[in-house]
Chains A and B, each alone.
Chain A
């Protein structure tokens, strides 16, 4: 059996604050999770949930208060293991006095590539991220999206086994997002393991085999993207139109919301068929019937709401 690509056990991170740093704020609490070899794993969560903290702990940028983590079977403190990891930081910032070619060449040197190999890899990566014509321009003249592309290029320059991407779609226009998605899928097809953080559900749904949802520094669930957020439909949405000849029930009008020429009516699953019957008898034309699933935003808001309620309860009871 292959060892998980990433494994954490009770990984926690507290940040001291206040005068003399005597108080502590927990940023990540007892994170235990596994990312299997060859899978695309998404870390989902609202801003400040602990996604970047998790990734920084894995990359050795910060150190855990408690717990441990292994990457490719080795402890995260083992720097040599970084040969097999590619990392894109959140909102990457590189030496802006260098050109994209120079930055990639600089990073390539750490992997011990020969001059010819570096040159070849750098050009290949620039083409892959769509920067082949901007390779000689200093990074200080780059847009945020272009920097994100450079970040992606340096992360996969050395053909790593595991790629860790912190908010890879951040700052990209729709075309850029699509290109990044394609690169991730390409890496997935090449058998790479990918861990990436995002707060955009559609990205996770398109790309991930599994997702882990983090909120308030705690892992709230792990599973396939569809199963974790929208397991149960919260209701049904019926879209219908009322032709001029239809008996325009005032009751129906009151219940539905009008959008353009159509009406949207939300009902519980049990009330679907009676509602459809009622619409038919009123002469309405049914356009569509769809399940209403909670959005990731709803899911996050629910989690955040619960956290706040819990925090308030602790404050009141003092426990």
Chain B
């Protein structure tokens, strides 16, 4: 476990020293600030607009970091051959992969927390108070973080057996497909064959359900999120990430490095 933490710590340190991440967080905070302005010109619903835009900014920036950094996490190490010296240490490849995942999730947690703090400052600025209902914003941010962890796992898995560009495309494609899992499940089409219907149902259970993480509407309107959903999403993310990282580790463990 200490070896996983060593890799995670170094991954986090790399992110801290990478100025691109700061730029992205700055950009997100700028978007949150602009949400305040947009909110002010939206009569009576300034808080709703501001929270929606703010959470969208956090989600978008987080997704960009998760996809691009997640894909580059392993492929960059292979390309630059930094892995050679690392894997010569008493370290399993799966430990390296898990450490990288943990390090990036930690980085995203810090970034997301910083952006969420900016959003709360904006809420405080507009509403002059933080009320109990605003706790849903915290849940929404937590769900964004869970979603990002899953995206990182997918990005890392794809980068283990394909080129970075394809890995980005696959991760992005799977994310978009995952947003419509609920629709896929409830799809009732008369024209398609029963076999196709079964296949679509199967697909809806295999694809990562990113729609479940979207509680921005509830957060913007101050509606509470059911505790059951928080538990469900947490367990779902842990399980899905474990499976995806398991596949990634299996592929990576037999991969010839350059």
Contacts and interface: CB of A to CB of B under 8 A. Distances in A.
A83 interface: yes
A301 interface: no
Looking at chain B's contact residues, the main secondary structure is helix
A91 B85 CA distance: 11
Contacts, number: 72
A85 interface: yes
A273 interface: no
A92 B85 contact: yes
B132 interface: no
B89 A111 contact: yes
Interface stretch (A102-110, A201-209, A221-229, A274-282): A102-110
Interface string B14-41: 1001100000000000000000000000
Given A79-B91, A110-B6, A62 B85 contact: no
Nearest to A160: B88
Contacts of B18: 97
Interface in A64-95: 79-83, 85-89, 91-95
A60 B85 contact: no
B192 interface: no
Contacts of B10: 95, 98, 106
B198 interface: no
Interface residues of B, number: 24
A110 B256 contact: no
A116 interface: no
Contacts of B6: 106, 109-110
A89 B14 contact: no
A316 interface: no
How many A residues touch the partner, as a band? Answer: 20 to 34
B128 interface: no
Interface in B225-258: 254, 256-257
Contact of A154 (B2, B85, B91): B85
A315 B156 CA distance: 44
Given A97-B17, A109-B6, A59 B84 contact: yes
A87 B91 CA distance: 14
Interface of A: 56, 59-63, 79-83, 85-89, 91-95, 97-98, 106-107, 109-112, 151, 154-155
Interface of B: 2-3, 6, 10, 13-14, 17-18, 80-92, 254, 256-257
